[in-house]
A = this chain, B = another copy of it.
Amino acid sequence: MPPITLKELAAELGLSPTTVSRSLNGYPEVNEATRARVAQAAARHHYRPNTRAKALATGRAMAIGHIIPISTQHEIVNPIFADFIAGAGEVYSGAGYDMLLSLVADADQSRAYREIRAKGTVDGIILHGPKEDDSRIALLAELGLPFVVHGRATWAKVPYSWVDVNNTRAFQRATEFLLDLGHRRIALVNGLEFMDFAVRRRHGFEAAMAARGLVPDPALMVQGEMTEAQGAHAARAMLALPDPPTAFLCASLLSAMGVRREVEAHGLRLGRDVSIVTHDDELGYLRNGEEEPIFTATRSSVREAGRRCAAMLLGIIADPASAPRHEMLEAVLVVGRSTGPAPASQR
C-alpha cells in the first residue's frame, strides 16, 4: 500500500490540493477550522509530503551532502568521521534536512562535484579533510553551491566558510606545558603533514620551542596515519636513541596509546620517566578516561565541530549573503596522569 498523496488527502476532505498544501504549510489564507480538519486527517493517515516532489517544486532539496575523500594513498577511513556525522546529524534532523554521503576518490573530485551540483540532490556541502593546498575549495566556490569546510586550507586562494579547531594554539600550549615541566627533548608524533591540521600543529609545536630558544630535533618528529601502531613504532625508534625524548606530543589518542605501550614495554613509568600529551577529539568510542583524564590532552569535541559546521551551513543556505563565515574552536588543555616533571637527570 503506497503512501497517501496530497491529492488523495484533498479528495477525502472535499478540498483542493491547494488548500491542503497551504494549510499544512502554515499559510494564513485558510480557515482555522479547516486547518484543524486537515491536520487531523493528515495525522490519521501519517501523511508526509513526498520529498522528491517537494524538492522539485520548491527547488530546495532539503538535504546536505558530505563529501568524504577516499584516498588511494592513505586508504584509511577516518576514525573521527562517525562522531562528526553524529553531531551534524543532530542539527540536520532538527531542521528537517537529510544527510547525503558521497565517497569520492581523489582522482575524480572535479567531476564528482559538478555532478552533485547538476543532479541537484543537495542544497549544500560539507567538505572533510582539507589539505594544506586543497584544490577542491576553488572548485566548489566556482560551482556556486554553499559549502563549509571542516578545517582550513592554508593556501586556498578564494574566500570560504570554515569551522576549525585552533590547532596551532593547542599544540603551542601543550608544548609550553611540557617545557614548563622542564622537558627539553620533546617528540612530535604528528598526523600526515599534507593535511592542513597537521601542519598547523607542527607550527604550534615549533613556535613554542622557538620561543624558548629551542630547535626541534628532526629525529624526534614523525608524521603518519594516526594509529596505535604508528605511535608504537615512533616511540620504539625514538626511545632507542642515545638521547631519547622525555616527552611525547601526539596527534591522537590512538597514537598516544601506541606510545604508552612502547614506553611501558621499556619499563618506563608514564608521567614519571616519560610524559605524553595528546590531542583528544572526544570520540564516543575512544574516551580519554571517565571523570579524570588518563592522558594530559588538548581536548576538542569533534562531535561539537560537526554540529557547528552543520549549523553554519544551514545558516548560509538561509542567508547566502552571510558567507563566508568562520568559527574557531579552542581546545582546552586538560591535565591527566600522563605528564610530570622531566626526570632530574635530564634537566
Contacts and interface: CB of A to CB of B under 8 A. Distances in A.
Contacts of A283: 77, 79
Given A3-B117, A47-B118, A78-B82, 14 more contacts: A52-B61, A52-B120, A68-B86, A76-B284, A77-B283, A81-B82, A93-B104, A98-B121, A101-B101, A227-B286, A227-B287, A257-B257, A261-B261, A264-B264
Interface string A162-173: 000000000000
Interface-central residue, A46, A50, A82, A114, by most chain B CB under 10 Å: A82
7 contacts: A52-B120, A76-B284, A76-B285, A79-B284, A79-B285, A89-B102, A89-B103
Contact of A50 (B83, B118, B144): B118
B103 A50 contact: no
Contacts of A50: 56, 118-120
Contact of A119 (B48, B81, B227, B289): B48
B98 A99 contact: no
Contact of A228 (B52, B79, B286): B286
Interface string A36-54: 0000000000111111110
Interface string A265-296: 10000000000000000011111011000000
A260 interface: yes
